[in-house]
Amino acid sequence: MTSLPTRTPPTHTPYDGSSKLFSIGLKPLAPTDWIEVDGHLLPYLAEKRRLYAEIPGRVFVEEDGTRDAQQEVLDLLGTHLLERFPDTYRRIDAGVEAVGAQSTTHAGLDGASLVAASLLVQEDLILMRRNDSGWRLVAGSLCFPSSWSLVEKFGRPLQDIHAPVPGFGPGTRPAELINRMFDGLQGQAVERYNWSIQSDNALYHPLSDLERIDRATKRPSRFPDGDIGAHAFIRVERQTLRKLPASGDILFTIRIHLDPLAVLARHPDRATLAVSFVAQLEALDLAQLDYKGLTSDRDRLIAVLNHMASDG
């Protein structure tokens, strides 16, 4: 795992109540804000290259007939990055590159434009395509999964992808709303946030559906020494959706931010953030806690946050 610098203060704090867990929460996104670039760019890209070299079949999938859409993603990203971040990206004979990044390729992945696109940005990139079964995951570069498996979700429609999420399975109102939102998405890009807690700073954080069921059944603490304050990391996902003008596919981007919980204690609004964080944790039911892996740790996490609020 590539070591990452500590971010102070956190870039995004959706646990402040602005992005409720287990809600859709899509908001319009200004085109200039589509992609986020910060001082973590090169370490993130180095970690992606490591994963492509070691476990390519777990972090990249594609169906036949998606290469044109992948190229469309690469072209759109290249244009956007050169315009929005001219000091970070430059044009080269092969297209666009991040200044200071390595330019290695990996056997079996050459020619996959979605891989090339993923090695420009910190975001993961997922292509969704509509057919009679709904919007299906037809290609994806997912180097930094937040407790899910790209291979398991590959080729499946949205309602099946979201089946393990409490309240979002096939036939539920949220599942129907998400499908309608995908159908209605046109030129306007949208964004949403999600967050979770993990016990290390790993960007690659997969979990299969079977592992999730096993974890929920046993409900083990992920902090056996009990020191959540010292070891917990807040994992924030910034997700965007935009419809590709040529292919009509939808590009789903996922940007991961990892912040040690201890960083929150140094935030100028730590008391307000801690109180909101506690309120969201207290509102989760058992199924939601199991899904987030927080069943055994919520009370201890709340105690740490309450202490943080009282010191604010």
Tell whether omega for the bond before 86 is within 30 degrees of 0, i.e. cis.
no
pLDDT band at 77 (very low <50, low <70, confident <90, very high): very high
**pLDDT tens profile 16-37:** 989 889 999 999 999 999 999 9
CA-closest candidate to residue 220, choices 135, 143, 295: 295
Query: pTM of the predicted model, to two decimals?
Result: 0.94
Q: What is the pLDDT of residue 7?
A: 58
As a whole number, the mean pLDDT across the chain is 91
| Confidence tier at 125 by pLDDT (50, 70, 90) | very high
pLDDT in tens, 60-72: 999 999 999 999 9
pLDDT at 214: 73
Residue 114 · residue 252 · CB < 8 Å: no
Q: Please give the single-letter amino acid code of residue 9.
A: P
| Model confidence band, residue 159 (pLDDT cutoffs 50, 70, 90) | very high
Task: Write the pLDDT tens digit of every residue in 283-300.
Answer: 999 999 999 999 999 999
- Mean per-residue pLDDT, 120-143: 97
Cα torsion through 52, 108, 102, 60, rounded to 10: -40
Q: Output the CA angle 205-207-212, nearest 5 degrees.
A: 135
The helix (run of H) or strand (run of E) holding residue 146 is none
How does DSSP classify residue 14? Answer: G
Dihedral Cα 143, 144, 149, 150, nearest 10 deg: -40
Q: How confident is the model at residue 312 (pLDDT cuts 50, 70, 90)?
A: low
* Residue 3 pLDDT > 70: no
Structure tokens at 27: 């908001």
Stretch (H or E) spanning 157: none
| pLDDT over 80 at 4, yes or no | no
Strand 233-243 and strand 250-260: pairing? antiparallel
Concatenated DSSP letters of 15-75: GGTTS-TTS---EE--GGGSS---TTHHHHHHHHHHHHHH-HHHHEEE-TT-HHHHHHHHH
Residue 231 to residues 149, 162, 200, 294, Cα–Cα distance (Å):
24, 29, 7, 14
Phi, psi of 122 (to 5 degrees): -80, -20
Give tens-digit pLDDT for 255-274: 999 999 988 888 889 999 99
pLDDT at 80 over 90: yes
What's the pLDDT score for residue 100? 94
Between 153 and 221, residue with greater pLDDT: 153
CB 104 within 8 A of CB 49: yes
